[in-house]
Amino acid sequence: MTNEEKSHKSRRRRRRRPAAQKGGHNPAGGNTDAAQNTDDSSGKKRAQPAQKHHARKHAKQHSSKQRTSKQSSQQHPKHANKNAHPRRGHSSQRSVMETRTETSAGGLVLSGLAEAVAENGTVDLSSIYVALIGRLDRRGRLLWSMPKGHVEPDEEHTLTAEREVWEETGIHGEVFENLGVIDYWFVSDGVRIHKTVHHHLLRFVDGWLNDEDPEVTEVAWIPASELMERLAYADERKLARRAHDLLPELARAEKEAGRITPR
């Protein structure tokens, strides 16, 4: 090897030495900084996928909890709004409606009881007549019902029935049998009313049908056989069925007593 070649080789060695010693001398024969950088770089590359996976898992669990919480609040709205505060201007307590009780009495005035009994004892209900009143509703329909009205203070139900039948139909009648009691609820002028009505059967005494009562549109004699078809209200139709069961025996009793009740 010539001196020129040896000099060139020596320069190459001197150039490499600073690069090898840049990170410091490693007694084990390796570059510690380079190894550390490689480990760090490798570690980061290996850790990044694990961190992303953990983040995605956490986000999925959080989203699942939100959906579960939302479904729970939809299924149990009472629990979801348990701690909710009422809005301003709204009371948390329901207003209590005033309640009142009323009592009325009325019934069916009958004509032709004795005359409806045949020689063999059978009773023809189409020959027995009852007085009904008709009122127009808001739709203009004529609704038939039994005459009735309020019981005055210290007044007996039977006297109320006789008075109301006369005021609403023009017929004087005498109570001789109880028919039944019905009750119902309705609201009038913001007041909740529980009304009880006592119904009776009345024997025709005298009088002529008239509709002078301003609350009554029409008054008519109706065959007892058509009573359930004419009455507009279900509660009164139930009473009409009971009247159908009572009338044959009552008619025979009237005939045996010799009472004639022509219209």
152: CATH? 3.90.79.10
- Whether residue 47 lies inside any domain: the answer is no
Q: Return the pLDDT at 84.
A: 54
Q: What average pLDDT is seen over the chain? A: 79
CA 178 – CA 202 distance, rounded (Å): 9
Does the model's pTM come out above 0.85? Answer: no
Residues 94 and 251: their CA atoms lie apart, in Å, by 55
According to the model, what pLDDT value does residue 94 have?
A: 57
Residues 82-136 have pLDDT tens digits of 555 555 555 545 568 899 999 999 999 999 999 999 999 999 999 999 999 999 9
Residue 231: beta bridge partners?
A: 144
> Does 79 fall in a domain?
no
The CA-based angle 186-217-206, given to 5 degrees, is 105
Per-residue pLDDT at 40? 47
pLDDT at 238: 97
Indicate whether 42 pLDDT > 50. no
- Predicted confidence at residue 96, as pLDDT, reads 84
Domain contains 28: no
On whether the CB atoms of residues 220 and 200 are closer than 8 A, the answer is no
Specify if 241 maps to a domain. Answer: yes
Confidence at 22, pLDDT banded by 50, 70, 90: very low
Query: What is the rounded average pLDDT of the residues 7-35?
Result: 49
| Distance between CA atoms of residues 187 and 209, nearest Å | 32
71 Cβ contact list (under 8 Å, min separation 6): none
Say what percent of the chain tops pLDDT 90. Answer: 57
Q: How far apart are CA 10 and CA 76, in angstroms?
A: 87
What pLDDT was estimated at residue 27?
A: 43
Q: With a cut of 80, say whether residue 78 has pLDDT above it.
A: no
Q: Which residues in 119-190 belong to E strands, given as ranges?
A: 129-136, 142-145, 148-150, 171-188
Please indicate, yes or no, if residue 83 is contained in any of the structural domains.
no
Do the domain assignments include residue 46?
A: no
Q: What pLDDT shows up at residue 70?
A: 54
Q: Is residue 167 part of a domain?
A: yes
83 burial level (CB within 10 Å; 0-12, 13-18, 19+) = exposed
Q: In this model, does residue 141 exceed pLDDT 80?
A: yes
With bands split at pLDDT 50, 70 and 90, how would you rate the model's confidence at 43? very low
Residue pair 113/254 in contact by the 8 Å Cβ criterion: yes
The rounded Cα 135 to chain-centroid distance in angstroms is 30
The SS3 assignment for 112 reads coil
Would the pLDDT of 23 be above 70?
Answer: no
Taking residues 26-37, what's their average pLDDT? 45
Residue 225 has pLDDT above 90, yes or no: yes
Highest mean pLDDT among 72-76, 93-97, 140-144: 140-144
Question: 32 versus 123: which is more confidently predicted?
Answer: 123
What pLDDT digit, counting tens, does each position of 164-209 carry?
999 999 999 999 999 999 999 989 888 999 999 999 999 999 999 9
Domains in the chain, number: 1
255: tokens are: 């005939």
Segment 143-152 mean pLDDT: 97
Secondary structure letter of residue 173 according to DSSP: E
State residue 185's pLDDT score. 92
Do the domain assignments include residue 6? no
Domain that holds residue 112: 99-256
